[in-house]
Structure 1
Amino acid sequence: MTRVAFHCSACGKCCNTPPAMTVPELLAHEDLFIGALALHPVRRVRAGDALPAGQARHRVDAADAAAISVLNQALLHPAAPGTALSHWRLATQGLDYASRGACPALQADGLCRVHGERQPGACRAVPLEPLWPDRLQQVVLLQRREEAGFLGTDCLTLADEGPREDLLCDGQSLPRDADRRALADQRAALLADRLHWGDAVFADLGPALGRQGAPAAGYLTLPMAPVLMALAAASPRCRARCQRYAQRQRVLIETQVTLALARRCSEDRATTEELRRFVRAYEAFGAWASQSRDTAGVNAAATEAYLGLAV
């Protein structure tokens, strides 16, 4: 049984990229984080498979496989039959220039400017992973002890037997209520994303993904325009909020591109071209939204509440 303790020293080393963020979180931080739609292939995990767990391997048993399947079915989208993929993860996230090597919310003093109530749920769950079941968080933690963001830090340590206040994982269990709650809250937020826009967007993207298979780079990033279109169709208020987001994102992207050009870093070029495609996608969304009629769908109230527009 593996026991892992966690103590955050606020060194900021693991805050080396923008986090995964739900749509409401991206809207709340529309002037700080560039939003993107990300597509991650998820490979099948069956009983008997061996998962990397730091320097060792974890043999998946029937209970592990069942718990993985439950989460996949709830939060992910099924891949085409007959492939090595089990599901696609369709999610939104922050995007930035890799050359910056830090989350946009990371301050010079190593602290987070959006810590507290405004902090993304994925960050509150760190170093745990909501897309893996609780019983396999020990595997996640052992993997993360080997990742670049945690190397050279002492926040994740193997713990001996006995009571410890900083004990994060005790074999297949998470002893602290706050950690279990952080995972449950983030899973609920991801489910809301799926229900309010994920299923609709995947219905459009799914056929192309079935033909394409897993991307060579491991995942794809796309503009948020398909997400905004799905949400904007719910009601005039939703459309106005999505239009504001698109406008604010264009301003933020143009600012970041200008800064990148001043840095003259060759590795920034691909991201600059990608962000320029985002701007064009937002322009197309703006043209579409301006021509849309004022109608409200059957889920208008629920979508407005999801976007934080409910009175």
Structure 2
Amino acid sequence: MTALDPGKRHFACTACGRCCDSGPEMELGETIALADRFVIALLFKVHGLPASERSGWAQPWWRDEQSRIPLRPALEEKRRQLGAFASRKTIDNPRERHRYLTISAMAQDFGRKRCPHLVDDLCAIHAIRPLTCRTVPLHYSRPPSTLAAYLDGFVGTPGYRCDTSPSAPLVLDGRRIVDREVAQARDAAIARAKADRGWKEHLLLLMDDPATAAAARLPTYDAVLEQSDNGYASSVPMLAAWRALREDGAMTAAAFEDVCRKQLALIQHEISVSEDPAVMQDLLDMRAAYDQSLSGLRQGSATQPHAMLAHRAPLTP
């Protein structure tokens, strides 16, 4: 059975731990509850789509997408899926594309290439794991018509030991997700993104002006686009987003202090075990940033300047 064949897909996790090969990505609204579990970065990614089915790269895009439906509805489906999570859409006429900016968060693994909470190939925080983990192997960023191909590629990854035998639970029937928990987690992710929309819009307002972006220690929107054109996502410490939420009045001073102290405890632990000089410097800079924000909070201001920590990460689809 090929990735594009109609039919059913069976799947069961065998707890091999192979897919837990990085810190998980998550929606902004998940970060507060997980601030004592992960050192978290704020992540900006730009996704490109053909402007129409007549665009020069529409057919290659459709083949890469491995959608089970024709090009035009596949493009419309992808637009709807990205639209649920994207904070801004712009048109790039010279390249015949639409660009969608997504703002999310990423748990840092500091180059270890494994989730910090993978212990003996098992998830140590399974009960409170992020939505991105709850939708494995039918991730919520993927539109329904591409899920069969995505699942086939996932289970075919060298080293993965997923159970796809007929005796494993049925998870996908054509474009319909049969696994109720995964379907509910996908819906929860869309609802979470909708609830976070105001927070993200506030960040974008700060990013549109170089002066306010610099004061908030955020990249400008134009800088994010430039990074994307060079093949990279943009990342800064999650502190910038929490500070913006605090300044917008949507986060209390007590809650802001709480997440800062939780991040500081994790950062201090990483400093105690890190052996990589580059990672160590980043950790020291992050510690200074959180220390200064807490100092500013004690002095009646949560907006003290701190070191800008903009990193480049490979841009993944």
Common fold: TM-score over 0.5 = yes
- Answer yes or no: is 1:209 the counterpart of 2:221: yes
Identity of aligned residues (%): 21
Tell me how far 1:144 sits from its aligned partner.
Answer: 2.5
Q: Secondary structure at the match of 1:97?
A: coil
Distance 1:204 1:142 in 2: 41
Deviations 1:262-281 (A, max 9, x none): xxxxxx34333333332233
Shift of 1:62: 1.9
> What SS is found at the alignment partner of 1:15?
coil
Give 1:293 deviation, angstroms. 7.2
Residue equivalent to 2:105: 92
2:35 to 25, 30, 39: 30
C-alpha deviations, 1:128-183, integer Å up to 9, x for none? 1212222322232234245xxx4222316487xxxx66222233222333332121
1:75 is matched with which residue?
A: 85
Q: Compute the displacement of 1:93 (Å).
A: 1.8
Partner of 1:6: 11
What amino acid is the match of 2:124?
R
Q: After TM superposition, give the deviation of residue 27 of structure 1 in Å.
A: 2.6
Structure 1's unaligned 5+ residue stretches are 262-267, 295-311
| Structure 2 equivalent of residue 309 of structure 1 | none
Asked if structure 2 preserves the Cα contact closer than 8 Å seen for 1:79 and 1:210, the reply is no
- Kept in 2, the 8 Å contact 1:80–1:210? The answer is no
> Does the Cα contact within 8 Å between 1:223 and 1:281 map onto a contact in 2?
no
| SS of match in other structure, 1:12 | coil
Are 1:258 and 2:266 an aligned pair? no
Q: Is contact 1:77-1:89 (8 Å) kept?
A: yes
Instruction: Confirm whether residue 17 of structure 1 aligns to residue 22 of structure 2.
Output: yes
Aligned partners of 1:78 and 1:235: how far apart in 2?
A: 23
Structure 1 Cα separation of the partners of residues 266 and 259 of structure 2: 10
The answer to whether the Cα contact below 8 Å between 2:67 and 2:145 also exists between their aligned partners in 1 is no
Letter in 2 for 1:209: Y
Provide the alpha-carbon RMSD of the alignment.
2.9
SS in structure 2 of the partner of residue 142 of structure 1: helix
- Residue in structure 1 matched with residue 140 of structure 2 by the alignment: 130
The C-alpha deviation readout for 1:250-302, integer Å capped at 9, x for no partner, is: 221122022013xxxxxx343333333322332343344345479xxxxxxxx
The alignment covers a number of residue pairs equal to: 275
2:167 counterpart of 1:153? no
Shift of 1:70: 1.7
Structure-2 residue corresponding to 1:226: 240
Distance in structure 1 (CA, Å) of the matches to 2:165 and 2:149: 12
Write the letter of the residue equivalent to 1:21: M
Is the 8 Å Cα contact of residues 134 and 173 (structure 1) preserved in structure 2? yes
- In terms of mean alpha carbon deviation, does 240-249 or 22-31 score higher? 22-31
1:90, 1:202 within 8 Å by CA — same for their partners in 2? Answer: no
Alpha-carbon offset, residue 236 of structure 1: 8.7
Equivalent residue for 2:201, pick from 199, 202, 222: 199
Is the contact between residue 5 and residue 166 of structure 1 (CA under 8 Å) also seen in structure 2?
yes
> What residue identity is the alignment partner of 1:137?
L
Residue 19 of structure 1 and its aligned partner are, at CA, apart by 0.7
Q: What one-letter code is carried by the residue in structure 1 that aligns with 2:122?
A: L
1:185 Cα offset (Å): 1.1
Tell me which residue corresponds to 1:289.
297
Shift in CA distance, 291/20, structure 1 to aligned 2, threshold 3 Å: same
Query: Whole-Å Cα distance in 1 between the matches of residues 290 and 193 of structure 2?
Result: 24
1:174 corresponds to which letter in structure 2?
Answer: I
- How far apart are the structure 2 equivalents of 1:16 and 1:209? 29
- 5+ unaligned residues in a row in structure 2: which ranges? 54-58, 210-219, 303-317
Q: TM-score, normalised by structure 1?
A: 0.77
Aligned amino acid, residue 112 of structure 1: C
